[in-house]
């Protein structure tokens, strides 16, 4: 315990003097000291309620006989950062969060940790830190936002971005756009569809690091406060039993997470974060494993942007545990794995029930017999690329068309809004990868513009960057190797025919090997100039997307 290393004994008197400066009593220092990592801030809607979650966790820890001590983690709002230079600073925070949490814990010592994230990079960043530190840890997030309502229909942030495209195309007027603006995001919480934040929060339950309901109980519900108190109490049990993250996040647990990802229809960003988490756990992660699991796992949920249901609906239908119980009927899960409840996954889901088959389909009536994500390979992406096939219109699962090539997201958006994209086109956005961006920006603005203009069933997008969990349509990201590393995407020209076959997991640039070699010789790689600060350091150290865009240590 911390008191054995830092508190007890004459040689630790200087440390005790500083604990006295904090106002801590001898009684408090005699108990297990629990670090509470709070991502609270006043700029991210998913984090504005984390002060209340943090206080509830503090109460839970104290009620169970521990001493809670809070310290912060940063957070970026992907929605606010979207479409400008700010998005370069989104993915990169995942490693800042992991590294800074590691630094705080190693410098001060704690007997256990409660992680309080909510949005896109905080959840995986803190899961990475938990694995790296490997002291008893539990997660409790801030919870999802309630769905908005426009014209009597539920809506969300993705609808808001698509409304901009509809407005630019003259399909709605300024008054309607303003109505979306005022109603799409009605409460605190992580945006209300199965976007990246909610995907990762759901996967904390599957990985065994969060209690039941952590992924789905809405942020505005009092049940979220109760969950936080329960997490605060449960960390004391984990400390007592010395159950650690690496006892929980095993290879079997990672495979369970991929399986649940396929059933839920999670964000493609999970294919960046799960490899990064697995790396910290010492578990090998091969993208080919994704297709292997997908082939066996039916897609049971079509939450926004794939369909008309939202996180609040999944919660009412029985939540993540109900989905797990459903797919366990096919024997797809390892239910013997340990979890933060102190019980196995099988024990956790034994009483789960599917309460609404319109939200969680049964394994006998899935949306598709294969999972929500597919990894494609071919001469355009030798190391793979990723698509959320559950959000692709059936007519776009197989597509062939001419490339229209853009060197940045800004160039692509300008072309889309100017009406230069036609039915059948394949929009290629390059030099937006982890190193080339740098920062691997999400492309929600161009995908939403195309969807809002009604072209999502006719146009594909391909990038070495990534797509938001709010993206729908034939949006294929994480193309590896990326352009700045000399990947084939760097040598695509306007008019080249690109063939996409999602059911066959293939993506091909229809030129000969000789032509590709000729282009490699004549077309220079374009590297961005004047990159400074953290982005420069990140670009020099980051791996390719197929490895999870991890920092090479």
Selected catalytic residue, list 141, 468, 480, 544: 468
Structure tokens at 413: 């958006």
| CA–CA distance, 463 with 241 (Å, rounded to integer) | 46
* pLDDT confidence bin for 101, thresholds 50/70/90: very high
| CA–CA distance, 29 with 25 (Å, rounded to integer) | 6
Q: Mean pLDDT across the stretch 69-84? A: 94
* pLDDT confidence bin for 451, thresholds 50/70/90: confident
* Beta-ladder partners of 500: 399, 507
**Could you tell me the pTM of the whole model?**
0.96
Whether 408 is a known active-site residue: answer no
pLDDT in the model for residue 168: 86
Residue for token digits 């014209």?
151
Q: Mean pLDDT across the stretch 329-336? A: 98
Structure tokens at 204: 């904390």
Residue for token digits 């059936």?
394
* Beta-ladder partners of 340: none
293-308 pLDDT per residue, tens: 999 999 999 999 999 9
Backbone angles phi, psi at 448, to 5 degrees: -70, -35
pLDDT in the model for residue 494: 98
- What is the share, in percent, of the chain residues with pLDDT greater than 70? 100
pLDDT in the model for residue 469: 78
Residue for token digits 């036609």?
422
| CB-based contact 311:205 (threshold 8 Å) | no
Largest CA distance in the chain: 76
Q: Mean pLDDT across the stretch 60-86? A: 96
103-137 pLDDT per residue, tens: 999 999 999 999 999 999 999 999 999 999 999 99
| CB-based contact 143:54 (threshold 8 Å) | no
Q: Mean pLDDT across the stretch 492-514? A: 98
Check whether 495 has a pLDDT greater than 90: yes
Q: Mean pLDDT across the stretch 467-494? A: 94
* pLDDT confidence bin for 150, thresholds 50/70/90: very high
pLDDT in the model for residue 532: 93
Check whether 169 has a pLDDT greater than 90: no
**3-class secondary structure, 66:** coil
Instruction: Tell me the pLDDT of the chain averaged across its residues.
Output: 96
Task: Write the CB contacts of 345 (distance below 8 Å, at least 6 apart in sequence).
Answer: 206, 208, 253, 256, 324, 333, 334, 335, 336, 337, 339
Residue for token digits 């929500």?
372
DSSP summary character for residue 431? S
Check whether 355 has a pLDDT greater than 80: yes
529-552 pLDDT per residue, tens: 889 999 999 999 999 999 999 997
Check whether 1 has a pLDDT greater than 80: no
CA angle centred on 148, ends 75 and 44, rounded to 5°: 10
* pLDDT confidence bin for 422, thresholds 50/70/90: very high
pLDDT in the model for residue 553: 56
| Nearest-10 crossing angle of helices 270-281, 122-133 | 10
* pLDDT confidence bin for 165, thresholds 50/70/90: confident
């Amino acid at each position: 315990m911390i008191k054995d290393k830092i508190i007890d004994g004459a040689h630790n008197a200087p440390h005790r003097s500083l604990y006295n400066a904090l106002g801590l009593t001898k009684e408090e220092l005699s108990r297990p000291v629990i670090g509470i990592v709070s991502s609270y801030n006043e700029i991210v809607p998913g984090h504005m309620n984390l002060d209340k979650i943090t206080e509830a966790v503090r109460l839970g820890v104290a009620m169970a006989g521990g001493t809670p001590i809070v310290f912060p983690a940063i957070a970026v709002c992907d929605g606010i950062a979207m479409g400008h230079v700010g998005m370069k600073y989104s993915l990169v925070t995942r490693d800042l969060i992991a590294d800074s949490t590691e630094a705080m814990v190693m410098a001060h010592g704690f007997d256990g940790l409660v992680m309080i994230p909510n949005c896109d990079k905080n959840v995986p960043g803190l899961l990475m830190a938990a694995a790296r530190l490997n002291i008893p840890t539990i997660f409790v997030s801030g919870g999802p936002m309630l769905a908005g309502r426009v014209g009597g229909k539920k809506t969300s942030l993705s609808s808001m971005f698509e409304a901009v495209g509809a407005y630019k195309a003259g399909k709605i007027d300024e008054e309607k756009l303003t109505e979306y603006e005022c109603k799409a995001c009605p409460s605190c919480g992580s945006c209300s569809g199965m976007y990246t934040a909610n995907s990762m929060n759901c996967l904390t339950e599957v990985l065994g690091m969060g209690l039941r309901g952590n992924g789905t109980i809405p942020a505005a519900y009092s049940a979220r406060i109760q969950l936080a108190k329960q997490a605060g109490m449960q960390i004391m049990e984990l400390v007592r039993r010395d159950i650690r993250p690496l006892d929980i996040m095993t290879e079997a647990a990672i495979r369970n997470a991929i399986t649940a990802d396929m059933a839920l229809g999670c964000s493609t960003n999970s294919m960046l974060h799960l490899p990064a988490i697995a790396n910290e756990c010492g578990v090998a992660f091969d993208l080919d494993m994704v297709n292997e699991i997908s082939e066996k796992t039916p897609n049971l949920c079509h939450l926004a942007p794939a369909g008309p249901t939202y996180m609040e609906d999944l919660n009412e239908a029985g939540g993540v545990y109900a989905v797990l119980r459903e797919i366990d009927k096919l024997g797809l899960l390892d239910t013997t794995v340990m979890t933060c409840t102190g019980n196995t996954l099988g024990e956790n889901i034994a009483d789960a029930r599917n309460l609404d088959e319109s939200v969680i389909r049964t394994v006998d009536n899935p949306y598709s017999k294969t999972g929500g994500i597919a990894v494609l390979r071919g001469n355009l992406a030798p190391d793979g690329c990723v698509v959320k096939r559950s959000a692709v219109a059936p007519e776009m699962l197989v597509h062939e068309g001419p490339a229209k090539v853009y060197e940045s997201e800004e160039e692509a958006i300008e072309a889309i809004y100017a009406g230069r994209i036609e039915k059948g086109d394949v929009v290629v956005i390059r030099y937006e990868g982890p190193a080339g961006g740098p920062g691997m920006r999400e492309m929600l603005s161009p995908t939403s513009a195309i969807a809002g203009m009604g072209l999502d069933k006719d146009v594909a997008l391909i990038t070495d960057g990534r797509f938001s969990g709010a993206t729908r349509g034939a949006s294929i990201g994480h193309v590896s190797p990326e352009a700045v590393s000399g990947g084939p995407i760097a040598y695509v020209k306007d008019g080249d025919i690109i063939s996409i076959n999602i059911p066959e997991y293939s993506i091909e640039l229809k030129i000969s090997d000789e032509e590709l070699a000729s282009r490699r010789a004549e077309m220079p790689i374009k590297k961005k100039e004047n990159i400074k600060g953290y982005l420069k350091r990140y670009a020099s150290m980051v791996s390719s997307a197929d490895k999870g865009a991890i920092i090479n240590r």
